[in-house]
């Protein structure tokens, strides 16, 4: 009961603050989006444009700004715990994005890559005016993906759902095949080649000890990590020692990566906060 009261007050206070900020922002830019017209297109206007008097408030963009801000706050509320605000934001994001991807999938994949190849005439009239209505000589091959696609949809018919296994198998099989070559080439051979370094680096003045150590250390690390991922031998005796060294190398790598990624995440957070403070509420420390 008390908790609820506290939260109600807090939320009301936040709403009040947001509105008051919007109302009484001296620069009149908090909680609003300004636009100007350039070559018949509406684009975002900045302070200079406003001072020049060519900008005006865009109500739909302002609504967008508020939605973005409110959803950002809703998602942040998850830090406290799961709550209806989060659920609303979550469901919206999921629903909108799922629908969005469906539409994108239809317009950017199905239409240009399948229908446009198979029946360019129809598509030209209907969706893609720039398209040549002549069917390409290879266009007819696109009947194969169409058939596979239809087979995949057979899943919806319970009695014929087994048909969908075939295209699925085709996808998995071709992917595996294609990937294997790419993998062998990019990860396998080129990676091996890249680790061809002289273990002892001779220079004109003698041996470059530091570089030699670096190279040797790198090669030893690579080989010991390789031993860790060698599955045929139980980690016992000497193998255990080598793989342990490999583990340490992995751990060091992980540590470095952890740090790097955390930095990246903090940057993401900063961007979000920047959006809230600057773009939405126009709060600037300077």
Partner 1 sequence: MPVISPDEINVILATDCGSTTTKAIMIEKIDGHYRQTYRGEAPTTVEEPAANVTIGVANAIAEIGELAGRKLLDENNEIIRPARGNEGCDIYISTSSAGGGLQMLVSGVVREMTAASAKRAALGAGAIVLDIIASNDKRKPYEQIQRIRELRPDMILMAGGTDGGTEKHVVQLAELIAPAKPQPRFGSEYRMPVIFAGNKEAWPMVRDTFDDSVELSQVENVRPILDRENLGPARDMIHDLFLEHVMAHAPGYDKLIAWTDAPIMPTPGAVGNILKTIAEKSGINAVGVDIGGATTDVFSVFDGEFNRTVSANLGMSYSISNVCAEATMPNILRWVHVDMDERELRNRVKNKMIRPTTIPQSLEALIFEQAVSREALRLAYLQHKEFATTLKGVQQQRTVGDLFTQDSGGNSIVDNMKLDLLVASGGVLSHAPRMEQTAAMLIDAFEPEGFTRLAKDSIFMMPHLGVLAQVHPQAALEVFERDCLIYLGTCIATAGKPVPNKVAFEYRITGDITAQGEILAGELKRIPLAADQEARVSITPHRKLDAGNGKGQSVEKTVHGGTVGIILDGRGRPLLVGGETGYSRQDVSQWVEALNLYENESLVSSK
Partner 2 sequence: MQTSFLHILKAIACSLSIVLLSAIIANGQEAEPDQPANVKELIIKDRDWDNGDSLIVTVPLSDFYFKKLQDLEQADGHLLIGMSEEYGGAYRPVSQFPPNDGTWEFDEEEKTLSGRVSSLTRHSHYYFRASWEPEEGDLTLLAESTEPMQSKRQWFIGEKRNLAFVGFVICGSVIFFIEIAKRGRPLKVRKIAGLNAVDEAVGRATEMGRSVLFVPGIQDLNDIQTIAGLNILSHVAKTAAEFDADVEVPTSRALVMTAARETLQGSYLSAGRPDAYNPDLAYYVTDEQFGYVAAVSGSMVREQPAACFYMGAFYAESLILAETGNSIGAIQVAGTAEPSQLPFFVAACDYTLIGEELFAASAYLSGAPEELGSLKGQDVGKIIVAIGIITGCIAATIDQPFSFVLTFVLIATAILLGVWWILSRETSQPSLHTPG
Which residues between 206 and 265 bind partner 1 (CB under 8 A)?
A: 244, 247, 251, 254-255
User: Which residue, 57 or 247, has its beta carbon nearer to partner 1?
Assistant: 247
CB of 223 to partner 2, least distance (A): 6
Among 11, 14, 171, 267, binds partner 2 (CB under 8 A): 171
- Using CB under 8 A as the binding rule, whether residue 135 contacts partner 2 is answered as no
Strands across the sheet containing 41-44: 41-44, 34-38, 56-57
Query: Which of partner 1, partner 2, none binds 232 (CB below 5-8 Å, type-dependent)?
Result: partner 2
Which two structure tokens, joined as six digits, stand for 86? Answer: 């989060």
Q: How many residues bind partner 1 (CB under 8 A)?
A: 5
Q: Choose, by CB under 8 A, the member of 100, 126, 213, 217 that binds partner 2.
A: 100
Cβ count near 34 (within 10 Å): 19
Q: Residue 272 interacts with partner 2 (CB under 8 A)? A: no
Least CB distance to partner 1 at residue 7 (A): 27
Is 110 among the residues that bind partner 2 (CB under 8 A)?
A: no
Q: What is d(CA 112, CA 185) in angstroms, rounded to the nearest whole number?
A: 31
Applying CB under 8 A, among 196, 203, 205, 285 the residue interacting with partner 2 is 196
Nearest distance from C-beta of residue 221 to partner 1, angstroms:
16
| N-to-C CA span, the chain | 41
CB of 220 to partner 1, least distance (A): 18
């Amino acid at each position: 009961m008390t908790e609820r009261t506290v939260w109600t007050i807090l939320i009301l206070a936040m709403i009040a603050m947001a509105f008051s900020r919007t109302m009484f922002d001296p620069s009149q830019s908090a909680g609003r989006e300004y636009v100007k017209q350039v070559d018949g297109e509406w684009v975002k206007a900045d302070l200079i444009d406003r001072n020049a008097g060519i900008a005006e408030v865009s109500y739909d963009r302002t609504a967008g700004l508020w939605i973005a801000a409110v959803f950002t706050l809703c998602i942040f509320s998850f830090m406290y715990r799961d709550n209806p605000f989060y659920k609303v934001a979550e469901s919206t994001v999921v629903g909108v994005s799922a629908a969005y991807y469906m539409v994108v999938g239809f317009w950017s994949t199905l239409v240009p890559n399948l229908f446009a190849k198979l029946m360019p005439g129809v598509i030209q009239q209907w969706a893609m005016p720039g398209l040549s209505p002549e069917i390409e000589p290879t266009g007819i091959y696109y009947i194969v993906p169409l058939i596979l696609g239809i087979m995949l949809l057979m899943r919806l018919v319970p009695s014929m759902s087994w048909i969908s296994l075939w295209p699925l198998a085709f996808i998995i099989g071709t992917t595996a095949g294609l990937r294997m070559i790419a993998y062998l080439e990019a990860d396998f051979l080129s990676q091996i080649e890249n680790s061809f370094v002289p273990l002892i680096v001779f220079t004109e003045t003698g041996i470059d000890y530091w570089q030699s150590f670096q190279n040797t250390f790198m090669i030893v690390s690579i080989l010991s990590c390789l031993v860790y991922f060698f599955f045929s031998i139980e980690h016992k005796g000497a193998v255990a020692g080598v793989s342990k060294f490999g583990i340490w190398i992995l751990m060091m790598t992980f540590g470095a990566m952890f740090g790097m990624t955390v930095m990246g995440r903090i940057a993401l957070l900063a961007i979000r906060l920047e959006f809230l403070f600057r773009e939405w509420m126009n709060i600037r420390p300077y």
